[in-house]
Amino acid sequence: MQQKYIGKAISRVDGPAKVTGTAKYAAEYNVPDLHYGYVVNSTIANGEIEKINLTKAAMVDGVVKIYTHENRPSTAWLSLNYADMDAPPGKPFVPMHNNKVVYNGQPIAMVVAKSFEVARYAASLITVEYKADKSDTDLVANLQNARDPKKGLASFLKPPPPKPKGNAAKAYEAAPLKAGGSFYHGVEHHNPMEPFATTVVYEDKDKLKIYDKTQGSVNTQMYVANVFGLKFKDVRVLSPFVGGAFGSGLRPQYQLFLSVMAALDMQCNVRLTLNRHQMFTFGHRPATLQNTFYGADADGKLQSIQHESVAETSTYEDYTEIVVNWANMIYPSPNVNLQYKLAPLNMASPMDMRAPGGATGMHPVEITIDELAHQAGMDPVEFRLLNYTDEDETTGKPYSSKELKECFKQAAEKFGWAKRNPQPRSMRRGHKLVGWGMATGIWEAMQVPTRAEAILTADGKLTVRSATADFGTGTYTVMAQIAADAMGMSLDNVTFELGDSDMPFAPISGGSFTAASCGTAVQAACLGLKKKLLKKAQSTNAEYKSVNLDDIAFVDGQLQPTNSAVKPIAYTDLAAASKNKQIASKNMGWPQMMKQRKYTRAAHSAIFAEVEVDEDFGVVKVTRLVSAIAAGKILNPKTARSQILGGMVWGISKALREESVMDHRIGRFMNTNLGEYHTPVNADIHQLDVIFVEEDDQIVNDLGIKGIGEIGLVGVPPAIANAIFHATGKRVRNLPIKLNDLM
Amino acid sequence: MNNFTYIAADTPKQAANIISQNPDAAFIAGGTNLIDLMKENIAKPNQLIDLNKIPGLDEITELPDAGLRLGALARNADTAYHPLVQERYPLLADAILAGASAQLRNMATNGGNLLQRTRCYYFYDIATPCNKREPGSGCAAYDGYNRMNAILGSSEHCVAVFPSDMCVALAALNATVNVSGATGERQIPFNEFHRLPGDTPQLDNNLQHGEIITSIDLPPGGLNKNYSYLKLRDRTSYAFALVSIATAFELKDGLIVDARIALGGVAHKPWRVTEAEEFLKNKQPAKESFTQAATLILKGAVGLKHNAFKIELAKRAIVRNCLTALNPDK
């Protein structure tokens, strides 16, 4: 296949629609007779609702109906029906199921009115009486309740830690070099620009069209059909544009349930949007406490890796992440003990947030490695090269490809690492202590079965579609590139469509697996289309009867047989001769399991950071970050760079800014707005460099795609923390690092 | 947000007359704080009296004594970038530009800046008790999450801080607030404008219901040679101060003849300690003196669970900012 577009820096095909405002989001679809919902959230974390007073709210002109647990229509009885594609083991939360309150901010009532403003005002008049029970929301204060996570379907993509190897505790005691400590980070919330919203169009009895903010239109469709007892074909879910999600759209949020419930009950169109505060009333990155104990021999070779973690979950689901498995994937050690436990708290179930588990777990790993390198008197890069491996020791399988050494080399060169003085507090600029640190990142390259359809029309246009998602990730663009190359067509004639449950099946889009999964599906559909084109050629043109698929080049919109005696045929001619003036093929893109299973497949990164720390105030400025990424084939260096830059900014955020602050007396988050939930502003971001170290990996998939959604973030926080240590001599293990930690 | 009526006033007197007949009415100018408060169901006015159309209040004019009058309706951005403010009162310009965001400063007025309410997390969350929002309900911040709260001048009833940057400079510059009410006009010295919480934290300042800020006067001599505004916060922009400091000196023959040090982010009002400023007078500018002044300023400071570090931070910031003020161009 000629690669004319794959690997080229092509601007986002949906860019103009987004910047001109023609791209519509879930709350922007205006339909006649729309009713507006507004949710009331609980103000206690644990207990029962004794009384909800609706009198005042009901009297407001324009209020049509108010729902609470007392009057909501019944939905599916079985917990199983509420389990979406990303549901962890347990019983999914059902809004307004009964009078029990299981977390602070839980939706407990919804006003439906003729206008948004009326609904919002009426909601403010609702008063609630509770019988509050003691609530436990502080992870550190509830470690005694830590236990093994329950296993379920989610364990397939998130396997538990591997069994212990050797005797890690004994090896640690005996090791001449020891490092480690206790690491804690609190809750973080996703906060994409677009808050959650659903517009439900009531088309007919039991037939809905739903515009939803989601990372999986089929996931939403399945959930709605199962919960409300509708037929799949009668639930169409559309989400062509999503204003960021970062994992929060992997599960249906409560606005979906409530808006569909009201639409079906009231037999009308309903829109429900969540406000920014309410974006803090469902999933989040869980608070996690981790301890590491690493030991190395006198030469710096790792002898013992111990990494234990306790993460928060809710009282109703066991949300898990891969937190502790990473260390021994990257660093070989004869003695390893990895433990992962959950402590249930009176909080909403956590959920996947960009690089879930990876960003969490690699933080202690890379800081502990940095500490060991420092103790060994070795350069941190040298130390990592000494403990380098091309084999994943947790499975005993080799990596399908791993250009991490090259990442170290190229990033170090770009950064100027060779000039580093290893001594902490050895560099300064005026009042600022300057530090250089580095870290490694890793994220598994996954792939899941996905379907796509390719349709060629007589006007010479190709449309490829799949029910997958683009939440700013560039799916529209890279899939069009793959299809254009596969069919030998100009990109101008290729359109990729997504975000519609009527389209061929795609699972939720996350875990960095969409490019590989959907890209493979697009290739499969294009291959299917090529076969049909040949078949059509054979049926209309005798010359083609003996021509095989392998003997044809599909270029410039033509079938060009290698046998020059056979005349080329234009796709348009074949489409014109077909029924409906088009030829289409729908195919499944399967992971090449037989090849894949023999290898561990992962993307890697090396991050180098420079910080300035004010010696009096502890204010940290990340002046430079260089990330080198080895993630297989980079389909589009422009959109890929944007994605990595986003990850790096998030890394700065996670290291220094983001934190959902809770008042544990009431189990309530207190900084639930973007003024007080600090993400970086422009003034926080300085020089960022991205290097792609390409890998030619035919094991992951034909196209060599590993995925880049998460890898940009993993490793950035520890690189910054290590740079801060180098600047100040202070080892700060908790996140985010605040100025008072360094005063 | 509740329903409300709207009326535009043509003169301060008319505005004062309307509001004096309606205890539940509120003035609106830039609206950058009030609209938020209404959306959060903290402010529930049944009538908004728009001041934006009152002629003349948006002007910045020279006073006969070479001071400057800042109209209450002049926008924060227009004030900060006004040539006379930049030339004579660069400390004020720097303070304004350290606050909020460009968009907010374009909208926010000078009068409104003085009247903005605290950003205490509990004041903003109507599900929690707050004596400022609901007198007598209690102070949830005192034993709650209080990183952003006061270390000076607070009471058991309220540990909120006043969030303005602009007002820290106005305090340092000895500004005067000109006020108009139904019964006439009066002047309030800046340091008497805002209040400490005591047992009436619901009152942020000494403005009476019905009174309108018409302008703010800056005295001549803007201390425009040796000055510095320093703001320390949890991110580089668009965050309220943990500690902010406006410092200005007048130096003569190598001695400090006038010293002004005002702190923001630490108390219910911009914090000035005369004793510390007097201590610096007639002394050579030196780090040791600044350190002693810092100790005097922070005398009586009390840290809460999450903000005790602000005491030491403020001391260090005072010293640094005094040194910076000696060489403001550096």
Q: What is the mean pLDDT of residues A617-633?
A: 98
Is residue A576, in this structure, part of any structural domain at all? yes
A568 and A612 fall within a common domain: no
A555 and A677 fall within a common domain: no
A435 and A453 fall within a common domain: no
End-to-end CA distance of chain A: 59
pLDDT at A670 over 90: yes
A390 and A508 fall within a common domain: no
Beta carbons of B18 and B182 less than 8 angstroms apart? no
Provide CB contacts within 8 A for A430, sequence distance 6+: none
Domain closes at, from A590, A615, A636: A590
Task: Indicate which residue of A312, A321, A403, A710 is catalytic.
Answer: A710
A452 and A437 fall within a common domain: no
Average predicted confidence (pLDDT) for chain B: 97
Note if A366 is an active site residue. Answer: no
Which of B33, B36, B117, B121 is the mutation pick for testing A, counting most A CBs within 10 A? B121
Domains and CATH numbers, chain B: 5-53 (3.30.43.10), 226-326 (3.30.390.50)
CA A601 to chain centre: 18
A614 and A653 fall within a common domain: yes
Average predicted confidence (pLDDT) for chain A: 97
Is the CB of A429 inside 8 Å of chain B's CB atoms? no
A·B CB contacts under 8 A: 75
Is residue A349, in this structure, part of any structural domain at all? no
Closest residue to B309, CB basis, from A117, A676, A743: A743
Q: Which two tokens stand for residue A528?
A: 């299917």
For residue range B72-95, list pLDDT tens digits in order. Answer: 999 999 999 999 999 999 999 999
Closest residue to A121, CB basis, from B1, B234, B317: B1
Residues of B in Cβ contact (< 8 Å) with A678: 234-235, 239
What percentage of chain A reaches a pLDDT higher than 90? 98
Q: What is the mean pLDDT of residues B13-17?
A: 93
Q: What is the mean pLDDT of residues A704-718?
A: 97
Closest residue to A617, CB basis, from B1, B232, B236: B232
Burial class (CB in 10 A: 0-12, 13-18, 19+), A343: buried
A500 and A578 fall within a common domain: yes
Pairing of the two strands A207-212 and A197-204: antiparallel
Domain closes at, from A564, A590, A616: A590
Q: What is the CATH number of the domain that holds A729?
A: 3.30.365.10
B313/A743 CB distance under 8 A: yes
Which of B309, B315, B321 is the mutation pick for testing A, counting most A CBs within 10 A? B309
A440 and A457 fall within a common domain: no
Beta carbons of B108 and B32 less than 8 angstroms apart? yes
DSSP assignment of B141-161 equals STTS--TTS-SSS-BTTB---
Q: A361: helix, coil or strand? A: helix
Q: What is the mean pLDDT of residues A234-241?
A: 98
A424 and A460 fall within a common domain: no
End-to-end CA distance of chain B: 48
For residue range A200-237, list pLDDT tens digits in order. Answer: 999 998 999 999 999 999 999 999 999 999 999 999 99
Is residue A121, in this structure, part of any structural domain at all? no
For residue range A306-315, list pLDDT tens digits in order. Answer: 999 999 999 9
Chain A: closest CA distance from residue B313 (Å):
6
Question: What is the number of structural domains in chain A?
Answer: 2
Q: What is the pLDDT of residue B17?
A: 93
Q: What is the mean pLDDT of residues A307-327?
A: 98
Shortest CA distance from A686: residue in chain B: B236
Q: What is the pLDDT of residue B222?
A: 81
Is the CB of B320 inside 8 Å of chain A's CB atoms? yes
Nearest C-alpha neighbor of B109 from the set B67, B55, B160, B51: B51
Q: What is the pLDDT of residue B330?
A: 54
Range of the domain at A705: 379-445+600-743
A698 and A623 fall within a common domain: yes
Domain closes at, from A551, A567, A590: A590
Is residue A423, in this structure, part of any structural domain at all? yes
Shortest CA distance from A120: residue in chain B: B1
For residue range B210-261, list pLDDT tens digits in order. Answer: 899 999 999 998 899 999 999 999 999 999 999 999 999 999 999 999 999 9
Is the CB of B294 inside 8 Å of chain A's CB atoms? no
Checking ipTM against 0.85, whether it exceeds it is: yes
pLDDT at A606 over 90: yes
Integer Cα distance of A436 and A448 in angstroms: 39
Q: What is the pLDDT of residue A153?
A: 79
Shortest CA distance from B311: residue in chain A: A740
Closest residue to A681, CB basis, from B125, B237, B316: B237
Range list of H helices, chain B: 12-20, 34-39, 76-80, 83-88, 90-97, 102-107, 110-115, 121-124, 166-172, 274-280, 287-297, 309-326
Q: What is the pLDDT of residue A678?
A: 97
Residues of B in Cβ contact (< 8 Å) with A665: 143-144
Is residue A492, in this structure, part of any structural domain at all? yes
Shortest CA distance from A676: residue in chain B: B239
A670/B122 CB distance under 8 A: yes
Residues of B in Cβ contact (< 8 Å) with A663: 128, 140, 144-145
Is residue A154, in this structure, part of any structural domain at all? no
Is residue A100, in this structure, part of any structural domain at all? no
Q: What is the mean pLDDT of residues B303-324?
A: 98
Angle at the Cα of A567 from the Cα atoms of A565 and A572, rounded to 5 degrees: 165
Going from the C-alpha of A71 to that of each of A38, A66, A99, A261, the distances in angstroms are 16, 9, 11, 12
Is residue A75, in this structure, part of any structural domain at all? no
Which of A135, A663, A671 is the mutation pick for testing B, counting most B CBs within 10 A? A663
For residue range A556-604, list pLDDT tens digits in order. Answer: 999 999 999 999 999 999 999 998 999 999 999 999 999 999 999 999 9
A389 and A438 fall within a common domain: yes
Residues of A in Cβ contact (< 8 Å) with B239: 675, 678
Q: What is the pLDDT of residue B69?
A: 98
Q: What is the pLDDT of residue A263?
A: 98
Residues of A in Cβ contact (< 8 Å) with B122: 670
A470 and A459 fall within a common domain: yes
